[in-house]
Amino acid sequence: MTSLDSVADVISYVRELAEPFVVGEYVPDWEQRSGMLSAISDYLIIRLRDDAFVDSEPAARQLDCDADTGYRAILAQEVRKFVKRKSLTFPAVELADEKDLPPLKELCLTLDYSEKIVISAAAFAISRLTLSTELVSVVANILFEEAYHLKILTEMLGLDQPSRPWLATDKLANWELVRSCDDGPSYMLLEHLLYEARGGIAAAKGVHDAGLRGVSKRSVAWLEKICNQETNHGISGLVWFGRDYRGARLPLSARSLIRRFIEQECDDQTGTFRTLRQRYSSWLLARYFSGASVQELVVSLKRDVAQCKSTGEIGPNLDEVSWGVDFLYEYLDRDGG
């Protein structure tokens, strides 16, 4: 049986749960594993209240200590029960009705691929990189939320997951970039700032377009739940970037990741909303290197997501986001960040 007697035990169980997703193929018990990850990552956050020095000490000391009182004691017991029974699943989501299904399929039929790549990316970070305990809990929670999005899309659209690709062809560049990350900071920068800050905008556009096509409020509410969590993932990327790289020259490896992201993922030339969306996160990062604070960028992201949900548009125009991409590409080459 899995032991949860020390922080090291908890981290190793988190890694064990995440490991199968690193292969990049369908994992039959994906719901079970990610459900367990939600409980364990919440538990880790509470444990961190006790273990402020856990990253500087061998994390082997026993877990039953000061913070396991009151509600936290109940939570600690429940987590152990879940781990023992291995029985934590997501709540059921209903299939959309026949009026909602056609527009939802048009808008969201490949959205599950976006969820699956982020699940595997998070699993890669948890299992293969050396992350602080705090970051393990953050990334494990993100993995759980992506799996929840996958559950929502799968049930709402009636998708047969075992017969669908886990990593779709257009996600392979993303997967390759993630696997070239060699530490937590570069992973957070790539996956959660560059990919997910613009993912929040894409999700907001989906919410807006679904409303426009007469999808019921009930189904739109599910898309909005996904959108809000995606935006939070982008915010995590921005906040951790500010923490990890503040005042420091960006290492060569991070510069190269950003340049590869621009080359591989910002290639749309249509001048449509798609171009704006693709370049959005580079525009945020370019503003950081031009003097904007992380807090200002978080405000921009939240504002643009809110605007996009209601109008289908965002604040910056094509010239501005294109400036962002060009500036960033040259700046990293010239000054190194």
Owner of token pair 């986001």: 321
Task: Give every CB contact of residue 91 below 8 A, 6+ residues apart in sequence.
Answer: none
∠ CA 208-210-211, rounded to 5°: 65
Using CB under 5 A, list all residues that contact Fe ion: 115, 146, 149, 196, 230, 233
CB of 24 closer than 8 Å to CB of 113: no
**88 φ/ψ sector (left φ>0, alpha ψ -120 to 50, else beta):** beta
Buried b (16+ CB within 10 A) or exposed e, 208-241: bbbbeeebeeebbebbbbbbbbbbbbbbbbbbbb
Contact 1, 50 (CB under 8 A): no
- Full 3-state SS string of 81-146: HHHHHCCCCCCCCCCCCCCCHHHHHHHHCCHHHHHHHHHHHHHHHHHHCCCCHHHHHHHHHHHHHH
For 17, the token pair is: 């749960």
Which token pair is 13? Answer: 């169980």
CA gap 104, 157 in Å, rounded = 7
Q: Give the H or E element holding residue 306.
A: helix 294-311
User: How many CA atoms does the CB half-sphere of 45 hold within 13 Å?
Assistant: 11
With contact defined as beta carbons under 8 Å apart, do 162 and 28 qualify?
A: yes
